[in-house]
């Protein structure tokens, strides 16, 4: 029969076990701390990746900062309202985070296990009227304040009064381009929206009716307003009021198919005088140049007329963009390429190579007819 340990040996054994338990507990705490630090590091990495790195890339490429579609640089009344609300919510929630994290850190440091602890459980306190009242009342008041602030901004943006001089525009989303109509002006264009800028105390906001011809899209120009969906069989509305002239870039913000990423949008904010000149040009009939009559004949005798319209011709299609003043636009295929004779030729010849899945078919024209068609289209200014 083996000898059993005496009482002193048993005490030493218990002490060893207690030390082992303490070591295991400290190891678990260290592991948790390591995981927490790892998560914080990962969060910091993504913040750097999404904020710092893009800024560095833009600086390296010498990109015009005014063309960057940023939510942090609002330049329209609705965008300012949304930005101010977001800043207010961030301050409130940031203060909550600081208080909660501070109290948690204080408790962790102040009541951590110490080397001389005897291992006894501290006194347990159950229930505290003042504390429970505080952690019920304070969050309730915070929610009320945030709700009222949000409701005020929603009312300010969605129920804004429409001035008599406001511009009315219909925007219709297609896969994957934007149809833009000015009902009161009799103008139809595509992918590039022109609006006037308010000047000399005269407000000239633009009110948009948003519709969809197929699937759900989302109209979003970050510097001018928040996102608004275009839903089939439903009309949504929004308004913008740029504070300066220039170009504002946006795009569809709702996945709408394979070429969603190439459904870009350009908003040109013009002075009232420049906008009036643009309107006068857009109201003119299409150029009828006898030198490119052969190209016009190609347009009228092929499937082009089934989808596209050109004022003054037999083409009155509505499935594709209106081409009456095609060359007055700076881009083709909803921003997929620059509008130039070379780009136009490439697009007509092989649209699917530039936007796979696009609904426009390749026309399969021979080189002679293609050259004639491009020569005709480039006169439509």
At residue 190, the 3 state secondary structure works out as strand
CATH code, 304: 2.60.40.420
Say if residue 295 is in the same domain as residue 373.
yes
Say if residue 104 is in the same domain as residue 55.
no
Say if residue 55 is in the same domain as residue 85.
no
> What's the confidence (pLDDT) of residue 39?
61
Say if residue 85 is in the same domain as residue 152.
yes
pLDDT band at 63 (very low <50, low <70, confident <90, very high): low
CATH code, 148: 1.10.287.90
Q: What is d(CA 174, CA 257) in angstroms, rounded to the nearest whole number?
A: 11
Rounded to two decimals, the pTM is 0.76
Inside any domain, residue 203: no
pLDDT band at 250 (very low <50, low <70, confident <90, very high): very high
Kindly state the average pLDDT of the residues 84-101.
Answer: 94
Say if residue 145 is in the same domain as residue 111.
yes
Inside any domain, residue 197: no
Kindly state the average pLDDT of the residues 100-119.
Answer: 88
At residue 228, the 3 state secondary structure works out as strand
Domain that includes residue 150, residue range: 77-158
Asked whether residue 141 carries a pLDDT value surpassing 70, the answer given is: yes
Inside any domain, residue 338: yes
Inside any domain, residue 297: yes
Per-residue model confidence as pLDDT tens digits over 345-374: 999 988 888 888 888 888 888 889 999 999
Say if residue 40 is in the same domain as residue 88.
no
Q: What is d(CA 206, CA 195) in angstroms, rounded to the nearest whole number?
A: 7
Question: Percent of the chain having pLDDT more than 90?
Answer: 49
Range list of H helices, the chain: 7-47, 53-60, 77-110, 129-158, 272-283, 293-301, 304-307, 341-349, 351-354, 367-377
Say if residue 145 is in the same domain as residue 90.
yes
Total domain count for the chain?
3
Per-residue model confidence as pLDDT tens digits over 215-232: 999 999 999 999 999 999
Kindly state the average pLDDT of the residues 56-62.
Answer: 50
Q: What is d(CA 265, CA 310) in angstroms, rounded to the nearest whole number?
A: 22
């Amino acid at each position: 029969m083996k000898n059993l340990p005496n009482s002193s040996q048993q005490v030493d054994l218990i002490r060893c076990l207690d030390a082992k338990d303490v070591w295991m507990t400290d190891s678990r705490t260290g592991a948790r701390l390591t995981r927490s630090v790892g998560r914080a590091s990962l969060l910091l990495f993504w913040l750097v990746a999404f904020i710092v790195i893009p800024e560095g890339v833009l600086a390296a490429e010498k990109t015009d900062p005014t063309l960057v579609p940023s939510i942090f640089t609002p330049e329209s009344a609705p965008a300012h309202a949304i930005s101010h609300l977001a800043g207010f919510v961030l301050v409130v929630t940031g203060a909550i985070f600081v208080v909660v994290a501070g109290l948690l850190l204080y408790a962790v440091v102040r009541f951590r296990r110490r080397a001389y602890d005897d291992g006894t459980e501290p006194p347990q306190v159950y229930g505290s009227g003042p504390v429970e009242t505080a952690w019920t009342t304070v969050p309730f008041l915070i929610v009320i304040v945030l709700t009222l602030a949000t409701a005020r901004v929603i009312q300010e943006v969605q129920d804004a009064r429409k001035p008599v001089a406001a511009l009315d525009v219909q925007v219709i989303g297609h896969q994957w381009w934007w149809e833009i109509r000015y009902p009161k002006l009799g103008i139809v264009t595509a992918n590039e929206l022109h609006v006037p800028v308010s000047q000399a105390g005269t407000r000239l906001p633009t009110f948009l009716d948003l519709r969809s011809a197929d699937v759900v899209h989302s109209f979003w120009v970050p510097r001018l307003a928040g996102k608004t969906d275009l839903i089939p069989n439903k009309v949504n509305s929004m308004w913008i009021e740029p504070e300066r002239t220039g170009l504002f870039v946006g795009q569809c913000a709702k996945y709408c198919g394979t070429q969603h990423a190439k459904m870009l949008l350009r908003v040109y904010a013009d002075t009232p005088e420049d906008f009036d000149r643009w309107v006068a040009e857009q109201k003119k009939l299409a150029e009828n140049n006898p030198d490119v009559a052969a190209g016009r004949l190609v347009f009228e005798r092929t499937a082009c007329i089934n989808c596209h319209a050109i004022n003054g011709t037999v083409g009155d299609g509505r499935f594709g963009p209106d081409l009456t003043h095609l060359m007055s636009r700076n881009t083709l295929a909803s921003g997929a390429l620059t509008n130039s004779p070379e780009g136009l030729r490439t697009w007509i010849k092989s649209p699917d190579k530039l936007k796979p899945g696009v609904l426009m078919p390749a026309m399969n024209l021979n080189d002679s007819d293609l050259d004639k068609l491009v020569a005709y289209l480039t006169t439509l200014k």
